[in-house]
């Protein structure tokens, strides 16, 4: 069964810390991996999308990496701020037979304390 796992499920850090969120997937036949942010009462906002041919993507204080061989992606947040508090989800687009399927993790709930 294809799965995406996010560890930890919850994380609480003081403001200013650099932090890493982890996402692992069970299948190396990956097309891309996406990181999303979800705020309470809101939908998901796409943060970064890494194609299978890429090793990393950067946007501002965010950096996402992809290691297909180990089945892992990390989201690095530099100099965290209280406004970064949200749930972060990763989703892997994996090959399923002749089709593609987007498999979602359950998310990491992040609290950045002032």
What is the contact surface with other proteins in residues (CB under 8 A)? 31-32, 34, 36, 41-46, 49, 51, 89, 91, 93, 100, 102, 104-107
To other proteins, the closest distance from the beta carbon of 42 in angstroms equals 5
b (16+ CB within 10 A) / e for 76-94: ebeebeeebbbbbbbbbbb
To other proteins, the closest distance from the beta carbon of 32 in angstroms equals 5
Provide the token pair at 71.
């089945």
| CA 48 – CA 33 distance, rounded (Å) | 8
| CA 58 – CA 47 distance, rounded (Å) | 9
Contact 85, 111 (CB under 8 A): yes
To other proteins, the closest distance from the beta carbon of 45 in angstroms equals 7
Closer residue to other proteins (CB): 13 or 44 = 44
Closer residue to other proteins (CB): 38 or 74 = 38
To other proteins, the closest distance from the beta carbon of 87 in angstroms equals 11
């Amino acid at each position: 069964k294809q799965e995406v796992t996010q560890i930890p499920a919850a994380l609480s850090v003081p403001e200013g810390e650099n932090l890493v969120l982890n996402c692992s997937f069970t299948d190396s036949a990956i097309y891309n991996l996406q990181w999303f942010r979800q705020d309470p009462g809101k939908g998901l906002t796409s943060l970064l999308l890494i194609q299978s041919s890429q090793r990393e993507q950067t946007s501002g204080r965010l950096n996402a990496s992809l290691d297909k061989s180990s089945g892992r992606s990390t989201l690095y947040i530099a100099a965290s701020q209280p406004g970064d508090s949200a749930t972060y989800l990763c989703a892997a687009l994996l090959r399923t037979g002749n089709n593609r399927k987007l498999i979602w993790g359950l998310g990491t709930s992040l609290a950045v304390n002032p």
